[in-house]
Amino acid sequence: METFSITTAIDYVNGEPHIGHAYEKILTDIVARHYKKRADKVFFLSGTDEHGIKIQKTAKSLNITPKELCDKNSKAFIDSWKLLDIEYNKFIRTTDDYHKKTVQDIFEKLLENGDIYKHKYKGLYCSGCECFLADKDLDENGNCPIHNKKPELVEEENYFFKLTKYKDKIIDHIKKNPKFIQPEFRVQEVLNQLENIEDISVSRAKTNVEWGIEVKSDPTQVIYVWIDALSNYITGLGYSTDGNCEENFKDFWPVNYHIIGKDILKFHSIYWIGILMALGVELPKSIYAHGWIMIDKNKMSKSTGNVISPKSIMESFNLKSPDALRYFMATSAIGGKDGNYSDIDFKEKVNADLANNIGNLLNRTLNMLFKYFDGDIKEEFINDNLINKTEETIKEVQLCFDNMDIQGAASKIVSLSDEANKYVNDNAPWTLYKEGKILECGCVLYTILNLMVKIALLIDAFCPNISKDMAQELKFDINIKFKDIKKNMLKTGKLITKEEIHPVFLRLDSEIIGSEAKKG
C-alpha cells in the first residue's frame, strides 16, 4: 500500500466538544495510526465548520463577532484533540482564506456549467440541521426528529444545485460499489432517500444570513453549508478548479474513507457525491457512518444535562494519558451501531483488558526474567511457541481494519494476550525454575516477551502511550511496519534492569490512580 487517506466530519463550532465528537476523532485517528504501519504515506484531515445562522445568532447573543466565537470554539476542539493524542496531518477551518477562495471558485464553476440556478423558494427550514425539510421528514408533532424543534417557514430567492440531474448516476454508483457506503446496513437507507430527492438550496440571501462566504458573482447571497462545509474534503488537500491542484490532492484524493456520524450520511452520500460528479472530481472510495455515543444508555442532550466532555472524563479519573479513554471509546460500539459510555463500563473494560490482561502479563513476565535471569535474554531461549497464533492474529487485525471493524481488531489483540496468559499458567515458569529446568523456564519467558512485542505493535494505534512504554521496556522500535515484523523480535543480552520495570498501565481506581478523583 503506497498511500492511505482519511477524513473526519468537520465539527460545527456553535458549542464545545463532547465525547460524541471525540468518538469520531479517536476512531479516525486509530485507523490512520494503524495504516501508518502498512502504507508509505498517510494523510488524516480534520477541522471545524464555522459559518451559518447559528454562529451568527450565538455571537450576537454574546456580544462578540462571529469570527471571535469561531476562534474561541475552534481552539477548544484543537485543544481537545491534542489532549486525546489525535494526530491529524491538517486541521482545516472553513474561515481559512484558501478555503473561502476555492469554495467561491467551485460555486462559480457549477454556475457556469449550468448545475446551479436561481429560484424562489418557500419551505420549512431547520437551523439545527442547516437544511430545508419536507413534511415527510418531520415527526408526528411536526418537529425535526433530530433536534425536536419545529422548523421555521422561510421564503426567499436562493441558488439551487441540480441534484436530481445526478440521481440515477448516484444510485448506479452505490449499487456497483458495495463498499462505497459502510456499514452495509446503511445502503438501503440511502437508496430509499434517493427515491424522492429534490434539488437543494446552496445559498442563502444575505438579508437572512450574513455570516458566510459571499457568492462571487452575486454578493447578495452567501454560499450555503453543502458547498461550503462539504468542500473542505478537497480544499483541505489543495484542490483547484483550474486543474493546478497541490501535491496532497494528487497523492491522497480520492480518500479511502470519510468517517462521519449516521445523522449526516444523507448529505455525504447524496449531496456531496452529486457535487463531485458535477465538478468532474473522482468520488471518495468509501463513506463510513458510525453510530452515536449514549450516556448511561440515554441520548446526549443539553436539556437533560448529560453532555460529557473528554477533558472532564480524564480529569475525573486523573488520567495522565488518554489511552484508557481512546481504547474504551474505540471498543464501545459494534460496526456502526450506537455505543454507550458509563463510568462503570469504562473502569471495568480498561481494567480488564489493559491493566489485568496486557499490563499485568508484561509486568509479571519481566519481573520473572529479572528474578531468574538477572534481566538477560539468552540465545538458547529462542523458540517458536505461539508464533503461528501471533502471525495469524496480525493478519486478522489487519483484515478487521480493512473492514472498519475496529472493535473486532481490539478483541483479536486481547484474545492473543489471553492466549499468552494461558500459556504462562499452563507452563508455570516459576515451577520450572524451582525444578531446575532453567532452559525450559527461559523459553517460556522468551515466548511471552516476544509475543508482547507483537501486541505492542498491534495496540499502538489504540494506545500510543502504553505501546511506547512497552517498546522502552522490551527495547524495540515501535514505529516499524508490519511487513518488517520478524519471528523473533528480542535481542539477546541484557533486556532490562530492576529499575526499568514498571507497570505500563495502572488499574483505574487503584491506590495510585483515581483514588481521590471524583466521578465524571
For residue 296, what pLDDT is reported? 87
**Considering the entire predicted model, what is its pTM?**
0.93
Residue 512 has pLDDT above 90, yes or no: no
Confidence of residue 517 (pLDDT cuts 50, 70, 90): very low
Residue 140 lies in a domain: no
pLDDT higher than threshold 50 for residue 513? no
Q: What's the pLDDT at 303?
A: 67
Catalytic residue at 268?
Answer: no
Residue 429 counted as domain residue = yes
Beta strand 287-290 with 181-182 is parallel
Instruction: Tell me which of 70, 126, 400, 443 is the catalytic residue.
Output: 126
Taking all residues of the chain, what is their mean pLDDT, rounded to a whole number? Answer: 94
Residue at 459 is within a domain: yes
Assign 199 to helix, strand or coil.
Answer: coil
What average pLDDT does range 183-201 have in this prediction? Answer: 96
**Mean per-residue pLDDT for 9-30?**
96
Phi/psi of residue 376, each to 5°? Answer: -95, 145
Between 36-40, 135-139, 439-443, 461-465, the lowest mean confidence (pLDDT) is in 135-139
Residues 6+ apart with CB under 8 A from 49: 10, 11, 12, 13, 94, 225, 228, 229, 232
CA dist 327 → 62, 144, 351 (Å) = 37, 34, 11
21 noted as active-site residue: yes
Query: What per-residue confidence (pLDDT) applies to 516?
Result: 40
Q: How confident is the model at residue 145 (pLDDT cuts 50, 70, 90)?
A: confident
> Tell me, what's the pLDDT at 137?
80
Q: Which three cell numbers mark 250?
A: 494528487
What is the pLDDT at residue 190?
98
Q: Give the active site residue among 299, 422, 487, 519.
A: 299
In whole angstroms, what is the distance from residue 59 CA to residue 509 CA?
A: 41
The 3-state secondary structure of 47-86, one letter per residue: EEECCCHHHHHHHHHCCCCHHHHHHHHHHHHHHHHHHCCC
27 domain residue, yes or no: no
The one catalytic residue among 21, 34, 100, 258: 21
Q: Kindly report, residue by residue over 109-141, the tens digit of the pLDDT.
A: 999 999 999 998 777 878 777 677 777 788 888
Percent of the chain at pLDDT > 70 equals 97
Strands (E) across 145-217 are located at: 152-161, 181-182, 200-201, 203-205, 213-215
Averaged over 163-177, what is the pLDDT? 98
In the set 122, 136, 297, 302, the catalytic residue is 302
Question: Distance between CA atoms of 156 and 208, rounded to whole angstroms?
Answer: 9
Question: Interhelix angle for 272-279 vs 167-176, to 10°?
Answer: 100
User: With contact defined as beta carbons under 8 Å apart, do 358 and 418 qualify?
Assistant: no
Q: How far apart are CA 233 and CA 44, in angstroms?
A: 11
What pLDDT shows up at residue 125?
Answer: 78
pLDDT tens readout for residues 238-273: 999 999 999 999 999 999 999 999 999 999 999 999
- The predicted pLDDT at position 144 comes to 86
* Residue 230 predicted with pLDDT over 90: yes
73 falls within a domain: no
How many structural domains does the chain have? 1
CATH of the domain at 446: 1.10.730.10
Q: Which domain holds residue 440?
A: 342-500
Active site residue 302: yes
462 found inside a domain: yes
pLDDT band at 322 (very low <50, low <70, confident <90, very high): very high
Between CA 268 and CA 275, with CA 271 as vertex, the angle to 5 degrees is 110
pLDDT at 65: 97
**How sure is the predictor about 518, in pLDDT bands with cuts at 50, 70 and 90?**
very low
Catalytic residue among 25, 37, 129, 443: 129
Bridge partners of 223, per DSSP, are: 203, 213
pLDDT at 87 > cutoff 60: yes
- Per the residue annotation, which of 75, 82, 119, 147 is the catalytic one? 147
Position 250 in a domain: no
Catalytic residue among 70, 144, 400, 441: 144
More confident residue, 25 or 512: 25
Q: What CA–CA distance (Å, rounded) separates 465 from 460? A: 8
Catalytic choice (18, 268, 290, 412): 18
Question: With 0-12 CB in 10 A as exposed, 13-18 as middle and 19+ as buried, what is 431?
Answer: exposed
pLDDT at 120: 87
- pLDDT exceeds 70 at position 451: yes
Please compute the mean of the pLDDT values over residues 52-69 and round it to a whole number: 96
**What mean pLDDT is predicted for residues 394-422?**
97
Average pLDDT over residues 483-508: 94
